[in-house]
Amino acid sequence: MSLNQFEWLDDYDNLFEGEIPFQLLKNPLLQKDIWHTVDDLNLRISPHKRTLSLNFQPIASDWFKLLVKLYVLVRSQPNKSSNSIDGYLIHLRKFSQFLVEKSIHHPKQIDNNLFEEFDYYLKTKGLGHKTLVHYRTTICTFFDVCRAEGWLDINTYWFQGKRHRGHPNHKDVEYIPEEVWHQLEENLYRLPEPVQRMILVIKTTGIRVGELLNLPLDCLRKRGKQWRLRFTTEKYNVEDEIPIAVSELVAIIKEQQKYIRKHFGERFDRLFCNNSPGRRYSKNGSFAFFPYPKVMQTATFNQWLNNLGKTANIRTKEGKVWRFKSHQFRRTVGTVMSNAGIRDLIAQKYLRHRSPDMLSYYQHLLKQTLGDELENLTKEKKYVDITGTVVETIKPKNLVTEFIRRKMYPLTTQYGECHRPVLKSPCQTVNACWRCLHWRISDEDLDYIQEDLARLEDELKIAKTLSMTRQQQGLEDDRNNLLVIIKGLAKN
């Protein structure tokens, strides 16, 4: 059988259970084993991770190779990431290798038992759970598409419930330990300034490495008084902004903008460039950087980090040499946010996760933080009222009950706790807790009270200067109330 130049092999006989896809079989790409991602498929290339071709040669079985090629044609929509398609192909090549080892010569030999054996085969290779899920997803989707297109009908029931990534143990979250973080900061000066700035940006913001390496030269935006970082998201290919919390980072980015404009003028539109190929060290053996107007590859960025780690002998507290990976910075920022008590919704929005479930892969609850939280929940607390008198002492016996109690009381107060009986009439002192007999304050609130006292003193001076007698009297009453409370807390 022949379709234009397509050569029909004996392996293809009885391959298609449904209608033969004549239109797809006319595609001249099927005659080649190397496909170009741009010229042949019009896929989108990521400058930091350039996948320029797709290689079908390692697929030994002709019938499986044909199915994989058809699958790639169906999945290759214009502007789709070439890295995604290449990822599918990597998994399907591995499955092809397994089929050869198991002497599978026809799709009718593929069943749930074979999927189970392939899963075990992958586990013997030492693959992690996340990678296993990626393999399962690719294989299941492949055969689902084959069924939907009417090529063949393979039961994929085995994959049900096995494609969920689950929640990792906190110890499995690969964040950068504090001692490694400090060593990195101490030795950052050894790297060329452009690479230093790259590391400072990613360690401060936690953006993905692809977003870092592709930052536009004009990436700063000022919204009112707040500076923001503008970029295109690596995962969803949409423009986004995040607030810059550390003001020094703005100055660092502006320095890098000057660096790029000095070396390339208007010829290069990215914030960071690559190093000239083959040139990484100066004559004295130290690190050197020779700017080259191309986007740096992810592997190159990781290489800079690990060359520094090797040169500076960066180790964990157990003495193990630390191996840097770019995504560790993102997970470390998630860990820092989690341990600082930042709400999950805020962390999710900042890290730009579409699902809150993703946060579990970026949060590592430090034992010290856990210990501090437990200690805080179990310690005895004494409460004073607005007269400075200790009116209540609480020694928690049940951690859950105490956690719920603390969540309930502060709902209506800026700090301290409102102990007004729930069934009483509506609050008569809204926004005036300092004058309410039901307000309770502990030593944990002392810093807030002292801040308010300092603010009141400033306002009182202004009232006196402007001869605002009535306002002055009210401010003096509030100040005296706070002084009584502070005295009561200090005494107890």
pLDDT in tens, 182-208: 899 899 999 999 999 999 999 888 888
Q: Does residue 291 register a pLDDT over 90?
A: yes
347 or 275, which is more confident? 275
- What mean pLDDT is reported for the chain? 81
In the chain, list all ranges with CATH 1.10.443.10: 178-361
Tell me yes or no: is domain 178-361 CATH 1.10.443.10.
yes
Query: Per residue in 33-68, pLDDT tens?
Result: 999 999 999 898 888 888 899 999 999 888 899 999
164 or 241, which is more confident? 241
Q: Please, where are the H alpha helices in 237-357?
A: 247-264, 298-311, 327-339, 344-351
Q: Does residue 242 register a pLDDT over 60?
A: yes
Q: Please, where are the H alpha helices in 409-468?
A: 446-465
The model's confidence at residue 2, banded by pLDDT at 50, 70 and 90, is: very low
Residues, the chain, total?
A: 492
| Cα distance from N-terminal residue to C-terminal residue, the chain | 95
Quote the pLDDT of residue 378: 58
416 or 293, which is more confident? 293
171 or 88, which is more confident? 88
Q: Does residue 92 register a pLDDT over 70?
A: yes
DSSP string, 360-414: GGT----HHHHHHHHHHHHS-EEEE-TTS-EEEEE--S-HHHHHHHHHHGGGG-S
| pLDDT (mean) for 122-143 | 91
- Supply φ then ψ for residue 228, to 5 degrees: -135, 155
Q: Does residue 334 register a pLDDT over 70?
A: yes
Q: Is 413 exposed, middle or buried (0-12, 13-18, 19+ CB in 10 A)?
A: middle
Q: Does residue 95 register a pLDDT over 90?
A: yes
CB 74 within 8 Å of CB 83: no
Query: Per residue in 401-412, pLDDT tens?
Result: 555 455 545 445
**Residue 449: C-alpha distances to residues 342, 435, 445, 453 (Å):** 23, 14, 6, 6
| pLDDT (mean) for 366-376 | 50
Cα separation, 312 vs 182, whole angstroms = 12
Quote the pLDDT of residue 345: 59
- Supply φ then ψ for residue 149, to 5 degrees: -80, -10
- Supply φ then ψ for residue 441, to 5 degrees: -130, 140
Cα separation, 276 vs 192, whole angstroms = 13
CB 83 within 8 Å of CB 237: no
Q: Does residue 21 register a pLDDT over 60?
A: yes
Cα separation, 243 vs 152, whole angstroms = 51
Output the CA torsion 42→48→50→51 (10° steps).
-80
Lowest mean pLDDT among 51-65, 169-183, 464-478: 169-183
* Structure token digits, residue 4: 């234009």
CB 52 within 8 Å of CB 45: yes
Query: How many CB atoms sit inside 10 A of residue 229's CB?
Result: 22
